[in-house]
Chain A
Amino acid sequence: MKNCVKKEELFDYHNHSLENDRMSEIRHHLVNCKDCQKKLQTIENNISLVEESLRSLNPDIECIPPFKFIDNKKTNQKKFNLSTILSWAAGICLIITFSTLMMKKYTHNQKPVNHYEHYEYIPDLNDAWKQNSVSVTIYDKNGLPVNHQIIGD
């Protein structure tokens, strides 16, 4: 017969999930069309078979177990395991060291430019050229030698 209804649409018709106009159209069509009647019958049989088989899969439950209430606070505490604590500690240590380094740099830059603690003195560059070495003496503010180094051979 012409204008027969598709299987999918018949399935929707069975579930009453089509628009009212289409539902009435299919209802009228089903009165005269034996093919569609057969299709609908097989769809209904299939659905009942599936329902029955799924029902038989259900396990028997004798009684409903009591609801196990777990406090939210306890569940939150569980989240803090050893690895998370260690990672937090490492992060805090990094922040402290970085901040102290930055502070040192900052305070160092605060000193006046002319405030020298040590003076370096290189005696004779010609002599150094001949000997392939430079002797460096470091004096403090009072003119007393603090350190003496020979750089090179």
Chain B
Amino acid sequence: MSQNFDKFVLLIKHLHMPFEEIYHLYYIKIFQFIYRISFSEQDSEDIAQEVFLSLHNEIMKNKHPLNTKAWLYRCALNKYININKKEKNVHLTNNINLYEKNYYNTIETDIIQNEQKKAIATALSKLSPKEQVLVNLYNEEFSYKEISEILEIKPTSVGKTLSRAIEKLTTYIKSSNYEELCKERRIV
């Protein structure tokens, strides 16, 4: 009950929130969400910008979406699908380039971190695109109803497919050397 009330309060707050605040609140989340599907920083940045541009246009037309968070994620997903259709990329996860230099880390931790990321990315890429998105949306703390609205599927089927996807993903992650890499990273 209290969770529902919190969501309701958040919804009312969003309706009166200026655009800049929404942008600062959700930009990173949208960017990361698209990055976890596409594994391309450039694409994620472009899509995030386009999403907020369309939100800006909607607000200018006095058509403020009721559930701003869900609207943003749905818009981002649609834009990602459109880009994929244009470029005819079936799976962008095939072109994984996750190397990221962190200046505070040593070379060893950098390498281990990178290997970890690759292990997760390959595990994710083994799931179907729908399952990938479902797991990512669940990770963003969306309710079943919101997920069903974003993906346009039945709310009753969300739980089943989600539980199966998570089970699959954990087996894929465990079968890779992810946990060993975690231990190594702690030692380093």
Contact = CB atoms under 8 A, between A and B. Distances in A.
B139 A54 contact: yes
A8 B100 contact: no
A116 B48 CA distance: 76
Contacts of B3: 16
Interface in B11-70: 20, 23-24, 27-28, 31-32, 35-36, 41, 45, 49, 52-53, 56-57
Interface stretch (B74-82, B83-91, B155-163): B155-163
A46 B36 contact: no
Interface string A42-65: 010011011101111111110011
Given A51-B139, A68-B49, A59 B159 contact: no
B35 A17 contact: no
Contact of A49 (B28, B124, B173): B173
A7 B163 contact: yes
Given A16-B3, A51-B139, A53-B120, A59 B166 contact: no
B151 interface: no
Looking at chain A's contact residues, the main secondary structure is helix
B166 A50 contact: yes
Interface residues of A, number: 29
B184 interface: no
B120 A43 contact: no
A11 B159 contact: yes
Given A11-B162, A15-B144, A59-B100, A65 B45 contact: yes
A58 B144 contact: no
Contacts of A60: 100, 102
A61 B162 CA distance: 29
A144 to B, nearest CB: 72
A140 interface: no
Given A67-B23, A68-B49, A69-B56, A53 B178 contact: yes
B26 to A, nearest CB: 10
B121 interface: yes
Given A15-B144, A43-B163, 4 more contacts: A50-B169, A53-B123, A57-B36, A58-B36
14 contacts: A8-B159, A12-B159, A17-B144, A46-B166, A53-B123, A53-B173, A56-B113, A57-B36, A57-B98, A57-B117, A60-B102, A64-B23, A64-B27, A67-B49
